[in-house]
Amino acid sequence: MTREVQADTRHHDPIAPPIAPPVVHARFSIGDVVRHRMLDFRGVIFDVDPVFANSEEWYESIPETLRPRKDQPFYHLLAENLESSYVAYVSQQNLEHDDSDEPVEHPAIAGLFDRLADGRYGLKPLHRH
């Protein structure tokens, strides 16, 4: 019994540019005050990942029905709710601008940002690059 093996005719063209991942635009910037769409907390953005960059364990801990897509920006927030202040990692799809003009009372804000003005915090010159 003989088997016919079909050759793989696909090949890598060394002249062709590599295929780039899709471009995703961040809707929010460092210093923006945002709130979570479904959960009762708000915060100030202090870092942005263009796509998901946390652990698989963290991702799997989110109930499957609520898990965000990984192919979108994720934001690091100095967050607060009625009980505490903490750092949160949130997908773009779950954030919206907070238009309350109320300051965020997270204790780390004073170390990173200047005062709240026009709905956002200005990053201190020491932390800009």
- The pLDDT tens digits of the residues spanning 39-63 come to 999 999 999 999 999 999 999 999 9
Residue 101 zone, left/alpha/beta (φ > 0; ψ -120 to 50; rest): left
Binned at pLDDT 50, 70 and 90, residue 22 comes out as low
Spatial distance between the Cα atoms of 54 and 58, rounded to a whole number of angstroms: 7
Spatial distance between the Cα atoms of 108 and 87, rounded to a whole number of angstroms: 10
Domains, the chain, ordered by start: 33-127 (2.30.30)
pTM beyond 0.85, yes or no: no
DSSP state of 23: P
- pLDDT at res. 5: 42
Is pLDDT above 50 for 8? no
**What 3-state class would DSSP assign to 26?**
coil
- pLDDT at res. 13: 61
